[in-house]
Amino acid sequence: MQIKVNEIIEYLQKETKQVYEYNQKDNSGIQTYTPLRALKDNSLIWINENKEYDYANFEQYENLVIISHEKNQTFLKDTKHPCFFSSDPRALFFDILEHFNPPEHFGTYRSSTATIESDRIGQHVYIGHHTYIGKKVTIGDHCIIKNNVSIEGKVTIGDYCVIDSGVVMGMDGFGYIKDDNNNNKRVPHYGGIQIGHHVEIGGNTCIVKGCLDDTVIGNYVKIDNLCHIAHNVIIKDNAQIIVAGIGGSTIIGENTWVGFHSVVKEGLIIGDNCVIGAGACVTKNVPDEKVAAGVPAKIIRDTFDENGVFRR
């Protein structure tokens, strides 16, 4: 990877909507990228707002391009390195990195070890090894279905979705009634799963079909590895679920973040633009734009600060 500073500027001016400032310094360019903890010469790096960082450390390296939070301009005013300042340096860094070092392109592929019973598979779809696609499944265009995935029943997947290895979708949920002998009897499930566009589902996650209605995953939803999404759950657009368990018939609002190892009880409504803290156990509804944390979870503050900036 060889990148000149003027090439970065040209890309940002023509092909991205990122807002940034540039300190008007130049260098011979960079060859790689690196995290802060492993700095080396000729690297693209990014740093968030952090007043405790030793910014003088940058000066012992050659040919860095620094993507920094705009609040760090004072600390970097004397650096010899070119800097791009942004309110979201992480997003700016990865926009640049992805443009000059694009990720692997999967393309159209169907593994010979996959079992595909459906004839409703879109264009440019990748289906990996030992994956099962049931006959009632519909998959949109430009999807990536990786290895050892099982999708059964009435499941509809939109365009540009990524289903990581080990995902299981479409099985019955955990619901039981008592029979005449007072033994546990499974409740039959007649629903399906609807998944929107640009959804990503992490490895070994389970998504259960609805009991009567469908389980619904909105557009641009991102679900981490090792999550459980129970029957009849509705996750609205742009929500993020991180190593969490969502109980049945719960609604997760738009742009809501459900944090690491949290649990949301069944039948709740979590509003839009909410944050559920790591390890939280949510047993009550959470209104829009609130942060809930703890066991049991309690509302601790608003998600937007006095300047209207979203904060986790």
Q: Is the pLDDT of residue 311 over 80?
A: no
Do 117 and 88 have their domain in common? no
Amino acid residing at 42 = N
Q: What is the mean pLDDT of residues 43-61?
A: 88
pLDDT value, residue 15: 79
Burial 78-89 (b: 16+ CB within 10 A, else e): ebebbbbbbebb
Residue 212 resides in a domain: yes
Q: How distant is the alpha carbon of residue 155 from its chain centre?
A: 21
State the pLDDT at residue 25: 79
- Whether residue 152 is contained in a domain is answered as yes
pLDDT at 247: 96
Query: Does residue 258 share a domain with residue 200?
Result: yes
* Catalytic-labelled residue, pool 129, 189, 231, 261: 231
- Mean pLDDT on 223-234: 97
H-helix or E-strand containing 86? strand 83-86
User: Do 83 and 204 belong to one domain?
Assistant: no
Q: So what's the pLDDT on residue 61?
A: 93
Entry pTM: 0.89
- Identify whether residues 54 and 131 lie together within a single domain: no
DSSP 108-153: SEE-TT-EE--S-B-SS-EE-TT-EE-TT-EE-TT-EE-TT-EE-S
Q: Do 63 and 174 share a domain, yes or no?
A: no
What is the share, in percent, of the chain residues with pLDDT greater than 70? 99
* Same domain, yes or no: 273 and 296: yes
At 166 the pLDDT is 98
Mean pLDDT score, 39-68:
90
Residue 307 inside a domain? The answer is no
271: pLDDT strictly greater than 90? yes
| Domain boundary, last residue among 50, 81, 100 | 100
Which domain, by its residues, includes 203? 109-302
User: What is the predicted pLDDT for the residue at 105?
Assistant: 79
- For the cut 90, the answer to whether the pLDDT of residue 269 exceeds it is yes
Distance of alpha carbon 47 from alpha carbon 303, whole angstroms = 23
69 with 168, same domain: the answer is no
For residue 42, what is the domain's CATH number? 3.40.1390
129 is an active site residue: no
Final residue of a structural domain among 65, 100, 135: 100
Q: Rounded distance, CA 251 to CA 270, Å?
A: 6
Number of structural domains (the chain) is 2
Is residue 171's pLDDT more than 80?
yes
What's the pLDDT score for residue 52? 80
Percent of the chain beyond pLDDT 90?
Answer: 78
User: pLDDT grade, residue 2 (50/70/90)?
Assistant: confident
Q: Which of 47, 69, 100 is the last residue of a domain?
A: 100
| 135-138: Cβ within 8 A, 24+ apart | 136/192, 137/170
pLDDT band at residue 267 under the 50/70/90 scheme: very high
255 band by pLDDT with thresholds 50, 70 and 90: very high
Report how far Cα 98 is from the mean position of its chain's Cα atoms.
16
Return all residues near 310 (Cβ < 8 A) that are at least 6 apart.
Answer: 273, 303, 304
Residue 191 has pLDDT above 90, yes or no: yes
Residues whose CB falls within 8 Å of the CB of residue 36, separated by 6 or more in sequence, listed in order: 45, 47, 53
Kindly state whether residues 89 and 151 are assigned to the same domain: no
27 and 81 both lie in a single domain: yes
Q: Convert the pLDDT of each residue in 73-131 to its tens digit.
A: 989 988 999 999 999 999 999 999 999 988 877 889 999 999 999 999 999 999 999 99
